[in-house]
Chain A
Amino acid sequence: MKAVSVGLNLPRQKGFHLRRGDRKSDIVYSAGIRALQFAVFIFLLSVIVFVLARLSPGDPLAAYYGEAVEHMSTAQKDAAAARLSLDRPIIEQYIAWLKGALHGDFGISYQYKQPVTDVIGKLWPNTLALGGLAYVSTFALSIPLGIFCASRGGSFADRALCRVGAASSVVPAFFIALIFILVFAVGLHILPSGGAYSLGGGGAADRAIHLVMPVAVMIISHLWYYSYMIRGKIIEELHKDYVLLLRVKGLSRTRILYRHCLKNALPMLVTIMAVSVPHIIAGTYVVELVFGYPGLGTLTFESARLHDYNMLSVMTLLTGAVVIAANIAGQEISELLDPRMRHDFEMSVDDEEVAV
């Protein structure tokens, strides 16, 4: 790159945010773009995952068929290898894998001796219950907390909460979980120490009791991180000129905060909620393991420990797909709430550049 070109770029024309007919066709158009984006991202992700799985040590045939390989004759092994295209270049191997994957065939779990999809099929509702509940309750608490701190920014309550929150957010989640088990399960005997249901049990109430501690740990370890972020966004909103104008016109603080600032900050909140998904998923996985909760997280870490690469790669792909879908959905929703976001997403870079 020639050094002279540095700094001489003018702000570029962006075609994307030009008016394009009515709002409805706008939405259909952008939904189409998003679907395409999703497909491309999943495709690239699957390439990464496939390469990672092939890099892992061990015989891919064994990873795919498990111990059954030992009972196969040489001819059977060759046939299986040919079916998986293991004797071909890696690109053809990938195509063969992709074909299977598109038909729902992700191979056999080395650890469970079952198709990977069967194992995941049994466990995902547990993870969804824990992760979903944690996600909803974290934001149900952190949004009001963030608003409270922002509206009283700099006050004693705000500073005290900031201090306590900052301290709480450095404690590793697994340690909070451990303390909870020590206090509530070992000490007080009021909550089960782990698992998703009691032996023989499995009713809704039983499952709910088993969810209490994991969800509480998830909330404690994520609450302040997001409250602080939301607090920052709302304080930023409170610094805008229109707030001063409304105040001068005599509107009450509450009205300005809830009717105007919050409305403007809403798309930002949606964006924060969307990008928090991988963070919450990672937290859920760790918490599941500490509580011995039968879910995808426990499965993932066990697969890593027992070198079940096939399972591990499918789990990575699945998690990535959920995160990408959440991001795209979040972006779409925030654009629906505030069409300026479309402009901002596209213009973000240039905005910054021009601002200097």
Chain B
Amino acid sequence: MILGNNKNVRVLDGGGRRKRPASGLAPECPAIDSRPRRCGVSVIVLISIALLCASAGLWLPGNPAYMDFDAISAPPGAGHPFGTDQLGRDLFRMVFYGGRVSLFIGIVAAGVTALIAVVYGAVSGLAGKFADDVMMRATELLLSIPSILYVVSLQAIIGRPTALSIALVIGVTSWMNIAKIVRSEVRQLRRSEYVTAAAISGAKLSYLLRRHLFPNFLPPILFMVISNVGQAIIAEATLSFIGIGLPQNVVSWGTLIALSQDALLTNSWWIILIPVAFLITVLVCIANIGESFRTAGAAPTSYLI
């Protein structure tokens, strides 16, 4: 390991006994509290927000970009539960329509990331030493540039951004860490006896991958894939805020939060706080769900009694 990675560092422990890391994730912290964290509330909140956003077209018909010139920068009130922005657009409608775009970007980006990472990591893990070395050096090289710079460069090359192009760009630029974990899981698994037994009985590579390897490295990477959804949503918000993400006329949580730069001057607190409250609620839920996947394998209590 020549170059580390910025997120989710997998630092090696000082040799000796190596527990199977608490699900292979990164700041591998063997949780002291060994009870798996419950995440029921997070799941319910997340699913209801997602459903409300996805079905916004059904229960909240109308164009989110509709401008009501009688109510410009109106505070939350009867007609507009969340108030309106400087153009008179209804914030309530925009939050749910925007959530649709943001969640879409998060899920598509995480899906693309997971796909590339699993394929790349599995190939690298199963390949011979030389190919494996080359592939791992390549990921380290790619990791040496903060991913926001890749996203910015690719976005600049693509030109007019759409939700799909942003999701793809974010997905294509953030698979490296997961790929490294998949690879080391695969290298660990390929040594195990049941894999050897299956190989000797004539199992094909694709069969091994599908039936033996994939089900086993899935739990360790699940946490990372889930938190990737959150990271992609943050990335979209940051890009839109910076002004190189979605154009202002496309409503997403990112572009909504970007509105708050102007809202600062007019002191419209609702524009600043409400979209972010939704964003943070979703991110906290995602983080909680991810966390509950990773506290599964817990370590014994500390010896520093």
| Chain A residues proximal to chain B, CB less than 8 Å | 1, 3-9, 12, 37, 41, 44-45, 48, 52, 55-57, 151, 153-154, 158-159, 166-167, 170-175, 178-179, 181-182, 186, 228-229, 231-233, 235-236, 238-241, 243-244, 247, 253, 256-257, 261, 264, 268, 271-272, 274-279, 281-282, 285-286, 289-290, 300-301, 304-305, 307, 309, 312-313, 315-316, 319-320, 323-324, 327-328, 330-331, 338, 340, 343-345, 347-349, 351-356
**B2 touching A327, Cβ below 8 Å:** yes
New A-B contacts (14) at CB < 8 Å, excluding given A229-B27, A239-B303: A7-B192, A7-B199, A41-B3, A41-B141, A151-B304, A282-B146, A312-B153, A323-B3, A328-B3, A331-B2, A349-B184, A351-B12, A353-B191, A355-B18
**A304 touching B153, Cβ below 8 Å:** yes
Interface size, chain B (Cβ < 8 Å):
86
Cβ proximity bits B13-49 to A, threshold 8 Å, 1 near / 0 not: 1111010100000011110110000000000000000
**B149 touching A275, Cβ below 8 Å:** no
Residues of A within 8 A of B191 (CB): 7, 9, 353-354, 356
Interface-side segment among B89-97, B217-225, B230-238? B230-238
> Known interface pairs A6-B208, A7-B191, A275-B6. Does A178 touch B261 (Cβ–Cβ under 8 Å)?
yes
Residues of A within 8 A of B126 (CB): 1, 6
Question: Which residue of the partner chain B has the closest CB to A271?
Answer: B11
Q: Which residues between 110 and 156 of chain B lie within 8 Å of chain A, taking CB atoms?
A: 126-129, 141, 143-149, 152-156
| Chain B residues proximal to chain A, CB less than 8 Å | 1-7, 9, 11-16, 18, 20, 27-30, 32-33, 126-129, 141, 143-149, 152-157, 159, 184, 187-193, 195-196, 199-200, 202-205, 208, 230, 234, 237-238, 241-244, 257, 260-261, 264, 267, 272, 276, 279-280, 283-284, 287, 291, 299-305
**B149 touching A319, Cβ below 8 Å:** yes
**A349 touching B302, Cβ below 8 Å:** no
What are the nearest 9 A-B pairs in CB distance?
A232-B29, A275-B4, A282-B146, A7-B196, A229-B27, A279-B6, A170-B283, A243-B303, A154-B32
**B13 touching A236, Cβ below 8 Å:** yes
